[in-house]
Amino acid sequence: MAVHEKRGGLVIEAKLKFPLLCDLGEGSLWDEKEQVLYWVDIAQNKVFRYNPQNGSNLAYDVGENVGTVVLTINDKLLLALRSGFAWLSPNTGRVTHLVDPEADKPHTRFNDGKCDPKGRFWAGTLVEDSQKGDGALYCLDTDLTVTRKLTGVTCSNGLVWSRDKRYFYYIDTPTLQISCFEFDLETASLGARRVVAELPRDTGAPDGMTIDSEDGLWVALFGGGRVIRIDPLSGQVDYEVEVASPNVTSCAFGGPELDELYITTARVGLSDEHRRKYPLAGSLFSVKLPFQGVPAYRFAREL
């Protein structure tokens, strides 16, 4: 395991976990009950279930672009699809559509999302044409109603909640910022916003995000070939994970001790030259860390 000093923090190299030529690997989520990792290939319409115990990677074809996946309290899979919210039965592979809050916007699709500590599903949209700021962040409540939480979004991406449940961290990728909002757990309302960090453009664009048990923010850098850990109080980078793929898209803590960081990557946007240089681009990677994650929240309704 290679570790070295860089920019005032530690750098460690991720290792290949599962080789796969994903166009747009994303949406990593650890199921602590089954000890498996769910992740997606947005462009190939696939939801994956990776089992590290036997090395298998089961694929579900959901028929359209899928931005992310979360678990429900009865072990179904809730999805954010191009056409809105839906759920997937792992036993049958059947997809049941729920609601599409942007049915009038064919130029947007859903992207990243997670459940909050109360079991509500938050997911946002990405604008695929030149209409910047025409996306939004939504919350699907347990009664299956949808509320728009943020507007003016161009590429809704990583989102997590602090351990004390008082703060919500969020990424709209083109801003290059990690934002922090005051969060009201009972009402799911967002309050005052501050910028935790703004990344230099040449380091890559902030994409997916997870959080550890010390409230450290782990941010995947699309075009940056790494995951960085940011202290949300100082905004400083204190740890980095290098990945053998330029386009790093999401990360999630997993393993029995929640100390293994799973990392998804993408081939989309890479030139033929870069695909030859990075033959593992699109694969799943992982690395053991001296940090622990926290269990993923589940959607608090049976489907």
What residues act catalytically? 207
- Residue 121's DSSP bridge partners are 115, 140
Residue 75: Cβ-neighbour burial (10 angstroms; 0-12, 13-18, 19+): middle
Name 54's Cβ contacts closer than 8 Å, sequence gap at least 6: none
Distance in angstroms (rounded) separating the CA atoms of residues 183 and 292 = 23
Distance in angstroms (rounded) separating the CA atoms of residues 222 and 3 = 22
Name 240's Cβ contacts closer than 8 Å, sequence gap at least 6: 6, 7, 9, 10, 11, 12, 226, 227, 228, 229
CA distances from 135 to 65, 104, 154, 220, 233 (A): 16, 12, 5, 21, 28
Q: What are phi and psi of 204, to 5 degrees?
A: 105, 165
Please tell me whether residue 111 adopts helix, strand or coil conformation. Answer: strand
Q: Which residue has the tokens 């949808």?
A: 146
